[in-house]
Structure 1
Amino acid sequence: MTYKELIAQMTLEEKASLMSGKDFWQTKDIKRLGINSMFLADGPHGIRRQQVAADQLGLNAGLPATCYPTASTVANSWNTELGEKVGDYLGEEAVAQRVHVLLGPGINMKRNPLCGRNFEYFSEDPYHAGKMAASYIRGIQSHGISACVKHFAVNNQEERRMSIDTIVDERTLREIYLTAFEIAVKEGRTKTIMSSYNRLNGEYTNENKHLMKDILRDEWHYNGVVVTNWGGSNDRIAGLLAGNELEMPTTAGQTDQDIIDAVNSGEIEEKVLDECVDRLLTLIYSTNDVFERPYKKEVDIERHHRVAQKVAEESIVLLKNEDNLLPLKFGKKVAVIGDFASEARYQGAGSSIVNPTILDHTMACFEESGIVSIGYEQGFERYGKKNRELINKACSLAKKADVVFLYIGLDEVTEAEGLDRKSMKIPANQVALLDALYEVNQSIVAILSCGSAVEMPWIHKVKGLLHGYLGGQAGARAILRVLSGDVNPSGKLAETYPFRYEDTPSYHHFPGDEASVEYREAMYIGYRYYDTANIDVLFPFGYGLSYTTFDYSHLQVDREGVTFELTNTGDVAGMEIAQLYVGCQSKEIFRAKKELKGFKKIFINAGETKTVVIPFDDKAFRYFNVETNQWEIEEADYHIMIGASIADIRLKDTIFVQGTGAPFPYHKDQLPSYFSGQANDVSQEEFEALLGKNVPTAKWDRHQPLGYTDTIEQCQYAKGVVGRLTYYTITFVHWFLWKIGKRNTANLIMMSIYHMPFRGIARLTGGIVNMPMLDGILMMVNGHFFKGLRHVFRERRKKIKKANSHSS
């Protein structure tokens, strides 16, 4: 232990006190020993430092900070150097705001396009997500503070995220859902990891010793801190035994006492607590060190804004460019239509909301773009109400233009933490506007703003399609620079766009059925499914157009990696993203047809040729063997493919790779769907054969009394009238707020109340309600109203009396 002597000076009470928060955002300090607090702040794409007083739901506006493009946007850059620059600037701003731990990046896999938090995540591919995350971490931590990778692990939906049990087989867990975290730990060297809310195969993740000890600590040799998601601690002692040091936010000493009691009773050895304290002290001292030296207390707001613009420019994806309509020819008259042109859609909703220092809007940036605008019309109401008058005005303007710039996408309340999307469609009133515009002017360029994949049955009605994703505070200007040709688009999709939601591999098993969600598609998420099962898609993984063209040639493959030449065969300089895919030719172990194993982004002038080298690493040929319980290499021929996307392979060769000689782990006759890749509707019997055990019951037990881990949603089945009344009141208030346009407030109710387990009432109220009081609330819900009410008041009096005795 690093701080053995310091820990020896601590009382048991002091050690336990460090294991939970001081308030909503700070850790506890011990002044007599010189141990300071740390401040933790949201920040995947911008610092969201709230005042210490914001100690309830923690959803107040943060201090002004640069809002960079979201992770889903920067992922499309495929540029780890750019990712490191984003991290560097985030870290600089964090230090300026005295933030010790920045809660990001988020690296959960995009298992399903409807996950409401996909805008915060990088990719459907773990290798891509891991490499981008590691770059962010290096940038953030270069300033001496800590990044905090989240949410560990298998948190791929928002609905019931605090209670859902994720059922996934071990190989899929390792290869798909943990690989990005492994890269973040080993290559990014993150100092902090945030555990997720959900259960994993029956156990809450922060109590799951297989996840937290066997894999994270023993296999990956992680020696940093694990912090709970806010209110995500269930059994504090089980969490501590699994190596979860820090519980956030404060519980006003409740769980500190649980730890003290557990040590005194022998339930937990004090040396286990000491190890957790030692790791936390390492983080406290390492992140406080920067603030004990002279440091920059102000940032150059304009400079950071320009960096945000550069990042957005490199992350924009050109998806369609019929007749080379873009870049826009000089002198063309443009009609600008769409509410998002007036008020930019630039970030998601929830804990990641940034209060931007500057905010560019399209109409304010037109003059400098050189594009001639003949006017603007709103065209549609932002939140989906149909308005024929707005459509008519837009059509009148469009008739006078050479080209229509149509700004469409998803609104702020559709993509939000705590909620999943209802469909992959954009609002019907926007499609109705497009249909009407198409009748009067067929030269339409759609500019799409959203953080995740959408269906596009309307795409034949636009000649150009530019996807800005969620481009941050400078995204509007960045888009105009691409439209005008000042910037050559170089982004490529880090996720697949299917034709329709029903084509997605997890369609039949998302978001799960009450108590659990079964990952029956196993490793076949995203392109791994579409490519292997030969399912046509709208836009494949890795796809994106440019204003120039590239030629690939002279592939050479050896045991170290690949070398090839890349030539810009067009008229303008540009950047190309070359992608390395590997495909095993053996049929003994089921795999995806192709898997991403490397990528590189290269700037090339017109007519220039560059030599590109992409090395193989330890992940190039491995698979996880459930018989040997370790990573193995299958002896076989492997196709080595270099492509401009998963569907556009330009160069191909084969290499023989010597294996590790492990036994084959599967019986083919038991797993036909997995060996064929047709894994979008796997039977329970076959999934259980893959799991090696029966799946748990997916329905809630409606006959049992509600307990700590049951949710407010389950009050609809409560035995007590007060429980059922609570449920119907919440659902009515949500409906009413949505009806009158208070959609953000309605979403907040769903996120922070409806899906919350009862224990969250104690864990997220800063000690206002403690667990004994919660016992009384549960009595009331379960049909013992007066007994429960007396219990609540009795325990409240005890709490007040105890607090008064401590203060005196």
Structure 2
Amino acid sequence: MTDTATRPWLDTQRTPEDRATLLVGAMTLEQKIAQLHGAMNTIDIYSLPTLEQINAMSAEEQDQLMAQLQVQRHVTGIDELGIPRFRITNGPVGVGMGDGHPSPAATALPMTIALAAGFDPDLARQYGDVIGSETATLGQHVLEGPGVCLHRTPIAGRNFEYFSEDPYLSGVMGVEVAKAIQAHGVIAMGKHYVVNDQEVERFRVNVEVDEHVLRELYLLPFEMLVKDAEIGAIMSAYNRIRGTYATENRHTLTDILRTEWGFQGYVQSDFWSCRSCAASLTAGMDHEMPDSKWLNEANVTSALKDTSLEIETVDRALVRRFTQMFRFGQFERPYAPGVIDADAHGAIARSIGGQVAVLLKNDTGLLPLDSGAVGSIVLIGQSTFVDEACNGGGGSSKVTPLYTVSPLQGLRNVLGSLGSTASVSTVTVADDLANLPDALAAAAASDVVVIMAGCVASEGADAPDAHLPHDQDRMIAALLAANPRSVVVLKDSTPVLMPWIAEASSVLEAWNQGSEDGHVVADLLFGVVNPSGKVPTTYAARADDLLYAGRPERYPGVDEGEGFPTIRYSEGLQMGYRWFQGQGIEPLFPFGHGLSYTTFDLSDVAVSPSVSGGDDVIEITATLTNTGTRAGADVVQVYVGIPVAGQPPKRLVGFSKVTCEPGETKAVSVRIDPAASHHPLGVWDYAERRFKVVSGDYAFYVGTSSADTPHGGLVHVRDNV
């Protein structure tokens, strides 16, 4: 008798769902319960140290804590059924904390926010390809990413894991990352579903948000992941949504995710976000991680006995996950970890890094630096940013890098390749600025000063404000005064306030770059690479300009008498650039802004057709010419004004990144399909409970940033829609 005769679920000729149904039908109740949860020993999460306590620990103590949390990121296999050990690794900025001890090393890629700044789906595919390849090479089955929550505030601790403030940009990039990951037989997991846009009191906080706001902003990138990427898994968030925990919220987990969007995958809890047994499974959560605090044998058996849980619901949860495992061939794949090609993937990380950096300001043309003319360069900054590669992002997504390139090493390598004899030195400024006078003296004595500053965010805590930490604003201001030939290189994980900006002639947003930090920054400084990134999240000029300034109910929330904080998204659709434009506030750097070492001219813009039935594809055509002396790329951006009361002035609905040689002209075409998953012309209709394109005049705006859209046209949508 063949193995498939006794275990028909191992027959690869059957459909994944058929195989999963057969497998679950052959399982005992004990086996079923064992597959509902991760294998980590259950701990009291409320006894874990706070972020501040972790930061105060010694390196050895931190390693011990991380070992406790990472060693069992899996579901135990069942050999007699042919179920493999199900190995789960974190993302989304590379292969993070995975199953094994120590957690496997991988390529530390630029932060997700940096990838979004590339405004280029092809970069997202390359990014996801590296992650998917390394996840498969390390024998893992699931990569917890991409993260597509939005940047509602600049201080959110996980902004570095998320793409941007715009749902369409986040969705486009997230879809390509997910598809590339899954091309390697790895399940991608979109997270954190939904409105986990802040870390403040994340285990307790409640988010109140209107349905049309939820649909048109915060759910939109998840909808794109489901419909366009056919993503295999979704991770449910920690927070409450309208009073109900995300892991128990039937409206989001079942009504929207499955009934409306047609999601076929499974839902995993974020670590320790599961809060119940019967309620979570019935609502649509399918898998508890990392332990069995709730979906253990005692709880499940008791719930089945008192009928608060049905065995069909348990079976449903397992069939959903096993279907995805069969879909991606994971039952047939032996565990045989390989070796990552660190050099090849590092080269990709370096290439991506150069294309996502944003040249925010270059008033005097100091950049790019002339490697043949400069005699001495000093790098000045605090240790995190000047002494070592900025492999940012704390918490479970932190990548253990295979290697890193420090700023000094990178500059020397690139200068050497250019044949430069310039000397390079560093001055490390203490976090309390005690040795700032020494740094000022070194700055005054050098031909060029490269000021390296930034922030490294972390899961579990939001920043106290939007300023650079450790008094770096004062450090930057003093250094700019000491030498006018100073370049500010920001290594951020989120937009920051810049009170010194008027004194800075050149500012380069390099982001947290990961492994290839030193090379990427040097390539950009000396013009080996022409920056082409665009701002993915608005930089405010003042703290008072932020949507939550003076509005604690918007952030960090208030206790409304229920014993937990509630955050109200009362700004509605006016979030991100929509907030600044809707309120008439001029930002420091608008969404979509980014300079180049060359210049471009956008012309011959046309929008057609001029009259639509509401479902016609709108095509925007234009001509982009490189009018400068260097090869470079610009992003043609298309926004639309929706003729509905309460809508913001503009929403991004299309973009195209175009590379041109000096003097070259290229035709550009951006197609806007009203039927697309991101509902580019749609608004949520409460009565019909669907997106609807209403009649009226739709104003299309075309340019190279949200604040620079001098071209466009009107499309009239007829009344018969």
TM-score class normalised by the smaller sequence? 0.7 to 0.9
- 1:79-129, Cα deviation, whole Å (9 max, x unpaired): 111111111111111111111000111111101111111111100000000
Letter in 1 for 2:363: E
Match of 2:388 among 343, 359, 363: 343
Query: Aligned partners of 2:315 and 2:134: how far apart in 1?
Result: 33
Asked whether 1:30 is paired with 2:78, we answer: yes
- 1:188-211, Cα deviation, whole Å (9 max, x unpaired): 111011000000001111111110
Query: Aligned partners of 2:584 and 2:249: how far apart in 1?
Result: 37
- The corresponding residue for 1:401 is 446
Asked whether 1:603 is paired with 2:663, we answer: no
- 1:571-615, Cα deviation, whole Å (9 max, x unpaired): 11111111110112x3x5310100000111111111111111111
Query: Aligned partners of 1:427 and 1:197: how far apart in 2?
Result: 27
- The corresponding residue for 1:673 is none
Letter in 1 for 2:602: Y
Q: 1:62 to 1:289 in 2, by over 3 A?
A: closer
- The corresponding residue for 1:258 is 299
Does the residue aligned with 1:307 lie in a helix, a strand or coil? helix
Query: Aligned partners of 2:596 and 2:446: how far apart in 1?
Result: 25
Q: 1:252 to 1:228 in 2, by over 3 A?
A: closer
Letter in 1 for 2:648: A
Match of 1:620 among 651, 669, 680: 680
Q: 1:543 to 1:15 in 2, by over 3 A?
A: same
Query: Aligned partners of 1:562 and 1:501: how far apart in 2?
Result: 37
Does the residue aligned with 1:639 lie in a helix, a strand or coil? strand
Name the one with the larger helix percent: 1
Asked whether 1:197 is paired with 2:238, we answer: yes
Asked whether 1:274 is paired with 2:309, we answer: no
Q: How does 1:569-580 map to 2 (within 5 A)?
A: 569-580=627-638
- The corresponding residue for 1:526 is 576
Identity across aligned pairs (percent)? 33
Asked whether 1:167 is paired with 2:199, we answer: no
Letter in 2 for 1:234: R
Asked whether 1:474 is paired with 2:530, we answer: no
Asked whether 1:443 is paired with 2:485, we answer: yes
Does the residue aligned with 1:556 lie in a helix, a strand or coil? strand
Q: Contact 1:117–1:416 (CA<8 Å) still a contact in 2?
A: yes
- The corresponding residue for 2:620 is 562
Query: Aligned partners of 2:114 and 2:323: how far apart in 1?
Result: 33
Q: 1:377 to 1:366 in 2, by over 3 A?
A: closer
Asked whether 1:13 is paired with 2:61, we answer: no
- The corresponding residue for 2:56 is none
- 1:706-733, Cα deviation, whole Å (9 max, x unpaired): xxxxxxxxxxxxxxxxxxxxxxxxxxxx
Does the residue aligned with 1:140 lie in a helix, a strand or coil? helix
Does the residue aligned with 1:15 lie in a helix, a strand or coil? helix
Asked whether 1:142 is paired with 2:183, we answer: yes
TM norm structure 1: 0.77
Query: Aligned partners of 2:514 and 2:546: how far apart in 1?
Result: 28
Query: Aligned partners of 1:444 and 1:304: how far apart in 2?
Result: 32
Asked whether 1:123 is paired with 2:164, we answer: yes
Q: How does 1:309-708 map to 2 (within 5 A)?
A: 309-329=350-370, 330-333=372-375, 334-339=377-382, 340-370=385-415, 373-381=422-430, 384-387=431-434, 390-410=435-455, 412=456, 415-427=457-469, 429-507=471-549, 508=551, 509-514=554-559, 515=564, 516-558=566-608, 559-560=616-617, 561-584=619-642, 586=643, 588-617=644-673, 618=675, 619-658=679-718
**Unaligned segments of structure 1, at least 5 residues:** 54-60, 662-808
Q: Contact 2:99–2:140 (CA<8 Å) still a contact in 1?
A: no
Count of aligned pairs between the two proteins: 645
Query: Aligned partners of 2:332 and 2:177: how far apart in 1?
Result: 21
Letter in 1 for 2:307: G
Does the residue aligned with 1:601 lie in a helix, a strand or coil? strand
Q: Contact 2:106–2:340 (CA<8 Å) still a contact in 1?
A: no
Which of 283-292 and 318-327 deviates more?
Answer: 283-292
Q: Contact 1:577–1:602 (CA<8 Å) still a contact in 2?
A: yes
Q: CA deviation at 1:435?
A: 3.2
Q: How does 1:76-91 map to 2 (within 5 A)?
A: 76-91=117-132
Q: Contact 2:107–2:346 (CA<8 Å) still a contact in 1?
A: yes
Does the residue aligned with 1:551 lie in a helix, a strand or coil? strand
Query: Aligned partners of 1:147 and 1:569: how far apart in 2?
Result: 42
Q: CA deviation at 1:386?
A: 2.8
Q: Contact 1:19–1:256 (CA<8 Å) still a contact in 2?
A: no
Q: Contact 1:406–1:447 (CA<8 Å) still a contact in 2?
A: yes
- 1:647-681, Cα deviation, whole Å (9 max, x unpaired): 011321111123676xxxxxxxxxxxxxxxxxxxx
Q: CA deviation at 1:296?
A: 7.7
Query: Aligned partners of 2:272 and 2:470: how far apart in 1?
Result: 37
TM norm structure 2: 0.86
Q: Contact 1:21–1:250 (CA<8 Å) still a contact in 2?
A: yes
Q: 1:291 to 1:363 in 2, by over 3 A?
A: farther
Query: Aligned partners of 2:718 and 2:337: how far apart in 1?
Result: 53
Query: Aligned partners of 1:151 and 1:360: how far apart in 2?
Result: 31
State which structure, 1 or 2, has the greater radius of gyration over its C-alpha atoms: 1
- 1:703-758, Cα deviation, whole Å (9 max, x unpaired): xxxxxxxxxxxxxxxxxxxxxxxxxxxxxxxxxxxxxxxxxxxxxxxxxxxxxxxx
Does the residue aligned with 1:213 lie in a helix, a strand or coil? helix
Query: Aligned partners of 1:511 and 1:266: how far apart in 2?
Result: 39
Q: 1:222 to 1:439 in 2, by over 3 A?
A: closer
Q: Contact 2:623–2:665 (CA<8 Å) still a contact in 1?
A: yes
Letter in 1 for 2:539: Y
Q: Contact 2:288–2:295 (CA<8 Å) still a contact in 1?
A: no
Q: Contact 2:236–2:269 (CA<8 Å) still a contact in 1?
A: yes
Q: CA deviation at 1:373?
A: 4.5
Q: 1:379 to 1:31 in 2, by over 3 A?
A: closer
Q: Contact 2:390–2:512 (CA<8 Å) still a contact in 1?
A: yes
Q: 1:494 to 1:401 in 2, by over 3 A?
A: same
Q: Contact 2:139–2:336 (CA<8 Å) still a contact in 1?
A: no
Query: Aligned partners of 1:594 and 1:409: how far apart in 2?
Result: 30
Query: Aligned partners of 2:472 and 2:522: how far apart in 1?
Result: 21
Query: Aligned partners of 1:391 and 1:659: how far apart in 2?
Result: 67
- The corresponding residue for 1:701 is none
**Unaligned segments of structure 2, at least 5 residues:** 1-16, 41-71, 609-615
Q: CA deviation at 1:565?
A: 1.2
Query: Aligned partners of 1:296 and 1:331: how far apart in 2?
Result: 49
Q: CA deviation at 1:159?
A: 1.2
Q: Contact 2:146–2:190 (CA<8 Å) still a contact in 1?
A: yes
- 1:463-494, Cα deviation, whole Å (9 max, x unpaired): 11011111111022111101101101000010
